[in-house]
Amino acid sequence: MNDRKQIRRNQLIGLIAGMLGGAMMAATWSYIPTTVGWGGAVMWGGVIGLGLGSLTQIEKLGYLITRSDNRMFNFLVGTSLPLLVIGVLLLVLK
């Protein structure tokens, strides 16, 4: 199977599973829908599931920056880069 098709399939499965997981968590713990609402619980579940379905892409992002063959290092750099960008934006916009 094509690598791109496999990645998209993983992302779709992660999205659907995350949305269902978010809905189940909202149904189980009553403070989740009162805090973020039902739509927010389903949306954040989908976001987390989509992120987990995209883990191989995060490693590729780290490789583009480091050019290292160390997969764990690339994964850590790829994971920390979006968090660093969000942190900088929060500081600038605050």
- Identify the pLDDT of residue 15: 93
Whole-angstrom Cα distance, residue 45 to residue 50?
A: 9
State mean pLDDT over 1-20.
89
Q: DSSP secondary-structure letter at 30? A: T
Whole-angstrom Cα distance, residue 83 to residue 37?
A: 25
Q: DSSP secondary-structure letter at 54? A: T
- Identify the pLDDT of residue 22: 94
- Identify the pLDDT of residue 94: 84
State mean pLDDT over 45-57.
89
Q: What does pLDDT average to over the chain?
A: 91
Q: Two tokens at 3? A: 């690598």
CA-to-CA separations, 93 to 8, 33, 84, 85, 89, in angstroms, rounded:
33, 29, 14, 12, 6
pTM of the model: 0.71
- Identify the pLDDT of residue 76: 92
Question: What residues does each domain of the chain span?
Answer: 1-53, 56-94
- Identify the pLDDT of residue 84: 92
